Chains A and B, each alone.
Chain A
Amino acid sequence: MPWLRRLPVLLGLNLRYYRSHKLLSILCILGIALGVGIVVAVELINSSAFSSLSASVDFLSGRATHSVVSGFGRIDEKHFPAIWTHPQVEAAAPVIEVMATAVETGDEPIRFVGIDPLLDGEFRGFSTVREDSGDFVPFLTERPPRMLLSADVMKQHGLRVGDTLTVSAAGVEKKVRIHGTIPAGDGLGDHLAVLDIAAAQELFGRYGELDRIDLIVRGNVEELARTLPLGLGLTDRGERKATLQAMLYSFQLNLTAMSLLALFVGVFLIYNFSMFSVLSRREDMSLLITLGSDRRELVGAFLAESLALGIVGSILGISFGWLVGWLSIERVSSSISELYFHLRVQELHLTASIALRGLTVGLAATLVGTALPALEVAVTPPVLGMKRRTIEDRAHGLKWILLLSAAACFLGSLAAWWASRYSVFWGFASAFGVTAAFALATPSALSPFSHYLGAWLKRWMGSLEGFLAARTIRASLSRTSIAVAALAVALSMTIGVDGMIHSFRESVRRWLDGALLGDLYISPSTTRWAHPLPNELIEMVYRHPDVEAVERYSTHEALLKGKPVKMRVVDGKVLKHHSTFHFLAGGRDAWDNLVAGGIFVSESLRFRLGIDVGDKATLKTPEGDRAFPVVALTRDYSTDQGALHIDRAVYERIWNDRSVQSVALFLKPGASTADIHRSIVHAFPGLDRTVVSNTKMKEDIFVIFDKTFAPTATLKGVSLLVALLGVATALTAILIERSREMTVLGYLGVTRREMAKINVYQGLIMGAAAFLISCACGTILTYVIVHAINYRSFGWSIDVSLDPWVFLKTAVLTTLACLASCVYPTYRLSRGRPLHLEEE
């Protein structure tokens, strides 16, 4: 094809354009890089989290083909011999896995794995203790108990074999001696301690309990499963991975959606730059056509150069994504650990497929952003000097079409909102529809806004600069509306997400105010790892003369319809008088019904498993499957897995478990919380940080809450940065296009300082327009995120409450950001060459 042969000539010509517009080219590449980077970062984080989770399951499972697990979180060790000697079982090993901290190693949790060294050799390689070694007997029999500790912990804290660690479990400190080292491998053995199972049971108060029994099954798995004791089930590592991965699904989906929104903002920037490059070369293109060039050549050259930019931007974006991922992975791991299960992501796995996806996403975004500009090239008329005004007239003419499209998008968004009851993807579609609707309506809003604002600035504020700036914005609508739309999208996302977080926070606050009415809580930070409090402590607080009532609490894993849920064991009789739970259904006589053997279910549980008030929920118990009537529906924001409440008396009777993980103390009138705190700590010195006031308890919960949303700050920040690059690009482009007008202003006596003010006004007016649009769009997005995404992702309802601070903060942020984006164009203006207009 001859036109292909001429392509390099055109590309050579085009290269000169990019050389003379270096800054704009760099801004465009940065836009692509940031958008791609954030998508790659989220991909990396999600895939690395899964890889770590998967490797961790593999590592801890060793050569086990299956595991026996309990439907209620623990296995009575008396069942072990029967399982071990089952004809279908080749080998079996009991395991306890407990997360805990040690005084010497700070707040970073260590995974304590209790094993039977005699049986475990068949399964795992981390035991360096051999029966035939002299170490074996002391490992089993010495006091304090011995453990193997991973090399990374020892190196990090300067520990040596023979040192003693003070392990804190439920606020009670116990000593363990380091017996040996688990060598540093590929990171899987990091923060791991291995000890004899009897020592682990003693250390963590888990007498007579196992977490699971690992098996190598040689025969019929189904037959083995059928003959297991009541309440126990068989699982394999694939199922365990799938269960854990499913728990992360919504969390990861939300991160992905936010990253795509950042890319969406990036597309605006690509479009803006591409359109600018086409329009500013339009005369050159017309000339080339009159000189005999083919339109296909022009379009081909344009697409080729756009793709080249896309490739450069994407490659930079992949590197940037790796950096963001590396910086964020710890925060995300920490959020996953707080919300779901302990996860320690050691390294990012930038695989070829992720890099390829990043490149694909970058090129796709570039193609979407350059589609219309390419069309503009394709219809370039062979007439020289198509005026900017004509292009702007066309942009003004397009406003109505865009407005109609906006209305269509909005209606589509409402439909998607309705459809979100079937899939959360429709919720995301609804959010996208709202955003697209406002973006499409931006030209229609920006034109009158800048017109009237300009008139107002001149008439009432006496600002000629503001007036001229507003007019320039209106006159450059094809460019400014794109930049404003991009900024409005990013700001809407900020307002929408912040509005959701604020509403969520307020709902959680109201929930806690109703659920946590105790004056003092003995609630170890290790509560989430299910460490039972010592019985002596419970007896002591019951006997305390200043304590009016005690509520004993514990939480266990349970299986309902085959899915893991949280089972909360509460004192119904106490809470009846000492709580104001928010019941969404069945509130009347709820506590009496609970004490009588019913259960409450959380909204998330109803959402996930479809179990509602009036239904029966069948739980696995040591006595076999047992159905409990659901008597109330509660709000519970602590887990999206779903939670159920059961009365302690009922639980203890059926599960034969009296363990308590935390207690709430309701004091008599006039009693001093400080005195009681002192008396508890005096008797149990390890509980100093564990006994907390109601206020502190809630503060701690909100610390976790805020940490959970920390990753969104990065995503919002990058989107905003991309949008601001858009504003800077638009301002620079306006400056280039309107340099002649600026020069004429100079002839009329406008100083460079005043011209710079015009430029700053342009940035601020664009920011103001974007902010106002985002107030409306962001508010609607808050409702969409809360009702169509959050509820569909996590199953909990949130009362939307709009916070003026969110809007104020966004306004300040917009102002500062727009001023920042004006810096370079203003500098360029103020340092421009002397005024020369009619050069001879």
Chain B
Amino acid sequence: MIPLLRLVNVKKRYVTGSAGEILPVRDVSVDIKRGERIGLLGKSGSGKTTFLNLVGGVDTPSSGMIYFNGRDLGELSSPELAEYRRSEVGFVFQSFNLFPTLTVGENIMLPLDLLGIHDENRARAMLEAVGLDGQWDKFPEQLSGGEQQRVAIARALVKSPSLILADEPTGNLDLETSNQVLRIIDEVCRDRDATLIMATHSLESLWLADRIFRLQGGSLIEQPRSGSREIVP
């Protein structure tokens, strides 16, 4: 069976004026199956976001190949990469990144609109799924941080992407809200058979991961699961 994502010797190199060459990702090779949930650990600056950007088609590797469903992302043009992100990838960010100019409903409708699917019922169902029924017409700033992140999750998942990339999704939330958000991510990914890669530096967030990797010095190292899933919470 073809893995959903295959990374082969992926390397990303930046050249900066002051620091010289930086290699946040070096010779990374990994297969990730459909429906699998991956936890990505690492210190600040370890390259977690770069890794997510590479598999999300936002950035391109300096060398190596990334296959999505057997298709080499390196061979895609810029508009094709945009199409890939539009249809296959859902991003969840630490700072939510909702559009303050759009209502909650419009934020969630946006990915569907981009795909030409004008299905408001689907978006409303998604909002209900994240527990925000009745907040459709509000603006993001009228919501709490946890609620905003739930809207962001609804926006990422409403188009039923194959791949969800979550970058520190609970980094700005308190513990209780974090757990709520993680449970929603867990449930929604499970319902839709979506693959999840979640970058975090919080071990407590990893209870939903099937596999855990650590990015260290640019290398991706698989971590053995210590303890059972039920440790948190």
Could you tell me which A residues sit within 8 Å of B by CB distance? 387-389, 458, 462, 464, 467-468, 471-472, 474-475, 740-741, 744, 746-754, 834-840
A752 to B141, CA, bound (A): 27
Are B99's CB and A464's CB within 8 A? no
Kindly state whether residue B18 has any CB partner on chain A within 8 Å.
no
Given A744-B97, A747-B85, A834-B59, does the pair A840, B44 have CB atoms closer than 8 Å?
Answer: yes
Are B83's CB and A749's CB within 8 A? yes
Are B46's CB and A840's CB within 8 A? yes
Are B101's CB and A839's CB within 8 A? no
Which residue, of B59, B95, B101, has the highest number of chain A Cβ atoms within 10 A? B101
Are A475's CB and B100's CB within 8 A? yes
The total of chain B residues at the interface (CB under 8 A) is 38
Kindly state whether residue B11 has any CB partner on chain A within 8 Å.
no
Of residues 80 to 127 in B, which have CB atoms within 8 Å of A's CB atoms? 82-87, 89, 91, 93-95, 97, 99-102, 106, 110-111, 113-114, 116
Which residue, of A471, A474, A748, has the highest number of chain B Cβ atoms within 10 A? A748
A692 to B101, CA, bound (A): 66
Which residue, of B48, B53, B116, has the highest number of chain A Cβ atoms within 10 A? B53
Are B58's CB and A747's CB within 8 A? yes
Kindly state whether residue B167 has any CB partner on chain A within 8 Å.
yes
Contacts of B50 in A (CB 8 A): 840
6 chain-A/chain-B pairs, Cβ below 8 angstroms: A387-B141, A740-B97, A747-B97, A749-B86, A834-B59, A836-B53
**Nearest A residue to B171 by beta-carbon distance?**
A838
A834 to B95, CA, bound (A): 20
Kindly state whether residue B79 has any CB partner on chain A within 8 Å.
yes
A468 to B79, CA, bound (A): 19
Are A748's CB and B102's CB within 8 A? no
Contacts of A458 in B (CB 8 A): 113
A744 to B93, CA, bound (A): 10
Are A389's CB and B100's CB within 8 A? yes
Kindly state whether residue B3 has any CB partner on chain A within 8 Å.
no
Q: Is the interface of A mostly helix, strand, loop or mixed?
A: helix
**Which of B45, B46, B114, B116 touches A750 (beta carbons < 8 Å)?**
B114
Kindly state whether residue B47 has any CB partner on chain A within 8 Å.
yes
User: How many contacts A-B (CB < 8 Å)?
Assistant: 82
A468 to B50, CA, bound (A): 28
Are A748's CB and B114's CB within 8 A? yes
A740 to B49, CA, bound (A): 16
Task: Contacts A475-B101, A748-B114 known; list 11 others, CB within 8 Å.
Answer: A464-B113, A474-B101, A744-B97, A747-B91, A749-B89, A753-B79, A754-B82, A835-B59, A837-B97, A838-B95, A840-B45
Kindly state whether residue B180 has any CB partner on chain A within 8 Å.
no
What's the nearest-Cβ distance from chain B to residue A314, in Å?
A: 37
**Nearest A residue to B96 by beta-carbon distance?**
A744
A458 to B112, CA, bound (A): 13
Are B78's CB and A747's CB within 8 A? no
Kindly state whether residue B56 has any CB partner on chain A within 8 Å.
yes
**Which of B58, B79, B94 touches A751 (beta carbons < 8 Å)?**
B79
Task: Give the 10 A-B CB pairs with smallest separation, nearest first.
Answer: A749-B86, A475-B101, A749-B85, A751-B82, A471-B101, A744-B97, A838-B49, A840-B45, A747-B91, A464-B113
Contacts of A740 in B (CB 8 A): 97
Are A472's CB and B114's CB within 8 A? no
A471 to B49, CA, bound (A): 29
Are A749's CB and B114's CB within 8 A? yes
Given A749-B87, A834-B59, A840-B49, does the pair A741, B141 have CB atoms closer than 8 Å?
Answer: no
Contacts of A467 in B (CB 8 A): 113
Are B82's CB and A838's CB within 8 A? no
Are A748's CB and B91's CB within 8 A? yes
**Nearest B residue to A744 by beta-carbon distance?**
B97
What's the nearest-Cβ distance from chain A to residue B9, in Å?
A: 21
Contacts of B94 in A (CB 8 A): 838
Contacts of A750 in B (CB 8 A): 82, 86, 114
Are A838's CB and B114's CB within 8 A? no
Are B99's CB and A749's CB within 8 A? no
A749 to B95, CA, bound (A): 19
Are A749's CB and B102's CB within 8 A? no
**Nearest A residue to B80 by beta-carbon distance?**
A751
**Which of A468, A746, A748 touches B111 (beta carbons < 8 Å)?**
A748
A839 to B14, CA, bound (A): 13
Are A464's CB and B114's CB within 8 A? yes
**Which of B46, B93, B101, B102 touches A837 (beta carbons < 8 Å)?**
B93
**Nearest B residue to A473 by beta-carbon distance?**
B101
